[in-house]
């Protein structure tokens, strides 16, 4: 397993669970100084920063891009895959397709989190899950063109009412024959929803393809009350070799958070 840390450039997400909000050259330099293997990018959209600029920062600091988030589609543009308005759903799909192509050129998968939306009002649960499956079925081959998977993230009940558990996510992918889609195990969401986080990872087996390595309070691992050891043991048992990524609040400040998180990742993997 490898380490990653979030770099956010979305002003609407300034209060979100992202560690460094500095200009990208500073974020890359800080990630490298602390010893991270990769950065996870949360950008305003697919055209916010040029691919060449990111490639030159990667080369300068020898850092991989672990993944790219798509949440700006929701927080900046109000787009969701389960919007009752068909034209809004279409725009949401186009935004994510463009993010898949952006990340793909950097060898990084895109993540679907908040843009999955919710069911309610005129949209039934079945209808929303149907739209989500149709959208995922277009993202999977699009990501495959770049030789990367597409990442779907079950969220806690306060952020979505579609899929809140890892096992439900795994069943849903299997029921819809969604290949090349992996699940994101965000330990913060799982701490709220799962009765046993390690067991949930074991139950989801090969489906986990990315991890947001957050403590119970969504701070750096070690700043809350999660016991990381059985969770990391479960990840090893299912053969997970991807990233433990710091999608956490920059508390008490970004530097102390980032330093604690890399220490916790090293301890967990030692």
Q: Print the binding letters for residues 41-80 with ligand LER: x by CB under 6 A, - otherwise.
A: ------------------------------x---------
3-state secondary structure of 106: coil
> Has 267 been annotated as catalytic?
no
**Exactly one of 114, 160, 164, 260 binds ligand LER (CB under 6 A); which one?**
114
Whole-number Å distance between alpha carbons of 230 and 236: 10
Q: Choose the contact partner of 70 out of Mn ion, ligand LER, none; CB within 5 to 8 A by kind.
A: none
Instruction: Identify whether the C-beta of residue 113 lies closer than 8 Å to the C-beta of residue 79.
Output: no
Query: 182 with 152: CB under 8 angstroms?
Result: yes
Minimal distance in Å, beta carbon 224 to Mn ion? 15
Q: Which of 81, 73, 66 is nearest to 13 (CA)?
A: 73
Among Mn ion, ligand LER, none, what binds residue 103 when CB lies within 5 to 8 Å by partner kind?
none
Catalytic residue, from 40, 193, 194, 247: name it: 247
| Binding status of residue 186 toward Mn ion by CB under 5 A | yes
Site for ligand LER in 177-196 (CB under 6 A): 186
Beta bridge partners of 112: 152
| 111, containing H or E segment | strand 110-112
Q: Is 30 in the site for Mn ion (CB under 5 A)?
A: no
Q: Beta strands 2-8 and 243-246: pairing type?
A: parallel
Active-site residue, 94 included: no
Based on its alpha-carbon atoms, the radius of gyration of the chain, rounded to whole angstroms, reads 17
- Interface mask (CB under 5 A) for Mn ion, residues 208-227, using x and -? ----x---------------
- Quote the tokens at residue 165: 């558990």
Residues that bind Mn ion (CB under 5 A): 186, 212, 247
Contacts with ligand LER by CB under 6 A lie at: 71, 113-114, 153, 155, 159, 186, 212, 247
């Amino acid at each position: 397993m490898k380490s990653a840390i979030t770099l956010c450039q979305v002003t609407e997400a300034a209060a979100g669970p992202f560690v460094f909000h500095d200009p990208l050259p500073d974020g890359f330099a800080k990630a490298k100084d602390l010893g991270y293997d990769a950065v996870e990018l949360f950008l305003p959209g697919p055209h916010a920063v040029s691919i060449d600029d990111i490639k030159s920062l990667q080369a300068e600091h020898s850092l991989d891009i672990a993944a790219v988030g798509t949440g700006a589609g929701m927080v900046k543009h109000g787009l969701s895959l389960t919007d009752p308005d068909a034209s809004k759903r279409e725009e949401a799909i186009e935004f994510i397709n463009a993010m898949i192509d952006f990340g793909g050129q950097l060898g990084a998968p895109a993540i679907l989190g908040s843009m999955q939306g919710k069911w309610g009002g005129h949209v039934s649960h079945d209808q929303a899950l149907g739209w989500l499956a149709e959208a995922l079925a277009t993202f999977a081959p699009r990501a495959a063109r770049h030789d990367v998977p597409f990442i779907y993230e079950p969220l806690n009940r306060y952020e979505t009412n579609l899929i809140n558990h890892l096992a439900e996510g795994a069943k849903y992918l299997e029921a819809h024959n969604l290949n090349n889609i992996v699940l994101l195990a965000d330990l913060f969401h799982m701490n709220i929803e799962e009765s046993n986080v390690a067991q949930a990872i074991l139950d989801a087996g090969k489906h986990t393809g990315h991890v947001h390595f957050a403590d119970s309070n969504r701070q750096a691992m070690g700043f809350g009350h999660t016991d990381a050891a059985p969770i990391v043991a479960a990840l090893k048992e299912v053969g997970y070799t991807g990233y433990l990524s710091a999608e956490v609040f920059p508390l008490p400040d970004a530097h102390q958070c980032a330093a604690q998180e890399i220490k916790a990742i090293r301890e967990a993997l030692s």
